Amino acid sequence: MKTLFKNGVIITANEQNEWFREGYLLVEGKNIVAVGSGQPEQEADIDQVIDLKGQWVMPGWVNTHGHAAMSILRGYADDAPLKEWLEEKMWPMEARFNRDTVRWGTALAVVEMLKSGTTCFVDMYDHMDAVAEVVEEAGIRGVLARGIIGLCSQEEQTAKLKEATEFARNWHGQAEGRIATMMAPHAPYTCPPAYIDRIVDRAHQLDLPVHIHLSETAGEVRQNVSQYGKRPVPHLRDIGVFERPTLVAHAVHLEEEEMDILQEYDVKISHNPASNLKLGSGIAQVPKLLERGFRLSIGTDSAASNNNLDMFQEVRLAALIHKGVNQDPTVVPAQVALKMGTRWGAECAFVPHVGALEPGKEADFIIITPNQAHLQPVHDPVSHIVYSASGSDVCHVYVQGKQVVKDGQCVTLDEEKIIYEANRVLKELLQVY
């Protein structure tokens, strides 16, 4: 099955930042086979032609850090000191999460992500079978890991590792290749070094990447130094974590020497601007990291600390905030922000076969209808995507060439039922609590 999308604005997010004012995208099965300006040379063997009539096509967003199920706790606690937010609000509620909670929380998040143009998300949570099942049903792409907190007995540690291993082994490559898995020790401050070592050892055996929270707050860095005599980056290096391909989330508080180490091991970084702001964690040194050559990615973190999963807003924030903090309007230009949300996001999530519109990539892309005032007049569509658009401008979404959002509605999921169930599980949590 070959489908030609023609007469569209094509934003490729390729290495050269090309975009075509009038171009086409040719998709065969799961894959992109041709992209270009004007019309393709031959249309002979094309099964279906879709006239975009000036709509904009771009790669789907890749959200490189989150905890989808926590959408159930959206707005449950805001504006509180981090310790109180975590210990008095999040943890007691999360302790009551079961497979049902995770299922509907994740489904709610996936509806939101798909409709706002995210085609791939990284997720670190518990009850991951439920998450994987939602991904399979929804048609979205997921890079999934059972997040392991190791502040427990040896027996519990072993049980959690077993569960994480089974999940990673069972689901890697499933859902027609839309699911990939990782091993995820939660953070240096929630996992003893010996346990991180065991988890990483398992990642070696399974040949999977590692995903871990890193230096989100100044407090956890201080704690790491007082507990282990070194900052988190050398600490993780010395345990051997970075011997595996690794994606770290946040990386807000880094010293130059730590950047050196991350760069030496080609560690991938997920920048989470909204969550870092909302929780008062601080502001990552994005311009410095970009200058060093890091191909950074962007994550929303969970809806409990954001409080939405709209990657347009997240990318806009990543493009805006560092200009202000550094009093330099030239840092994080639009094309870089776009790549952080797409091409580089895919690289950081270890799914480099998506994230750009170019031959050889799988066909994960979104179509925007720019008929709203805030996307007009049209001078530079990339500027409008980064600085003006929001998730509601997304009209159609495709993953592996298959349409999952049509005219702004999910094709694969029952939105109304999911919203009903999400409210039901929240109500149950609040009653117990």
Where does this chain touch a copy of itself (CB under 8 A) — which range of 134-142, 154-162, 204-212, 366-374? 366-374
Q: Kindly state whether residue 79 participates in binding a copy of itself, applying the rule CB under 8 A.
A: yes
Nearer to a copy of itself (CB atom), residue 181 or residue 313: 313
- What whole-number distance in Å separates Cα of residue 351 and Cα of residue 266? 15
- Phi-psi group of 207: left, alpha or beta (phi > 0 → left; psi -120 to 50 → alpha; rest → beta): left
- Please check if 94 is assigned to a binding site: yes
- What whole-number distance in Å separates Cα of residue 4 and Cα of residue 306? 37
CB of 205: closest distance to a copy of itself in angstroms?
Answer: 38
- What whole-number distance in Å separates Cα of residue 104 and Cα of residue 86? 22
Interface residue with a copy of itself among 41, 42, 95, 379 (CB under 8 A) is: 379
Residues near 40 by beta carbon (within 8 Å), at least 6 away in sequence:
4, 6, 24, 26, 34
Q: Is 237 helix (H, G, I), strand (E, B) or coil?
A: helix
CB of 71: closest distance to a copy of itself in angstroms?
Answer: 8
- Please check if 213 is assigned to a binding site: yes
- What whole-number distance in Å separates Cα of residue 101 and Cα of residue 79? 24
- What whole-number distance in Å separates Cα of residue 124 and Cα of residue 241? 17
Q: Kindly state whether residue 85 participates in binding a copy of itself, applying the rule CB under 8 A.
A: yes
Residues near 369 by beta carbon (within 8 Å), at least 6 away in sequence:
55, 393, 395
Q: Give the torsion sign (CA, 288, 294, 298, 301).
A: negative
CB of 55: closest distance to a copy of itself in angstroms?
Answer: 15
Interface residue with a copy of itself among 6, 115, 235, 343 (CB under 8 A) is: 115
- What whole-number distance in Å separates Cα of residue 189 and Cα of residue 155? 19
Residues in 208-267 that interact with a copy of itself by CB under 8 A = 218
Nearer to a copy of itself (CB atom), residue 35 or residue 422: 422
Nearer to a copy of itself (CB atom), residue 135 or residue 309: 309
- Please check if 172 is assigned to a binding site: no
Question: Pattern 116-155, binding to a copy of itself, x per CB under 8 A?
Answer: x---------------------------------------
Q: Kindly state whether residue 422 participates in binding a copy of itself, applying the rule CB under 8 A.
A: yes
Helix ranges (H only) for 218-333 are 218-228, 232-239, 256-264, 273-278, 286-292, 311-325
Residues in 294-333 that interact with a copy of itself by CB under 8 A = 303, 306-310, 313, 316-317, 320-321, 323-331, 333
Nearer to a copy of itself (CB atom), residue 263 or residue 392: 392
Residues making up the annotated binding site are 65, 67, 94, 146, 186, 213, 216, 301
Residues making up the annotated binding site for substrate are 94, 146, 186, 216, 301
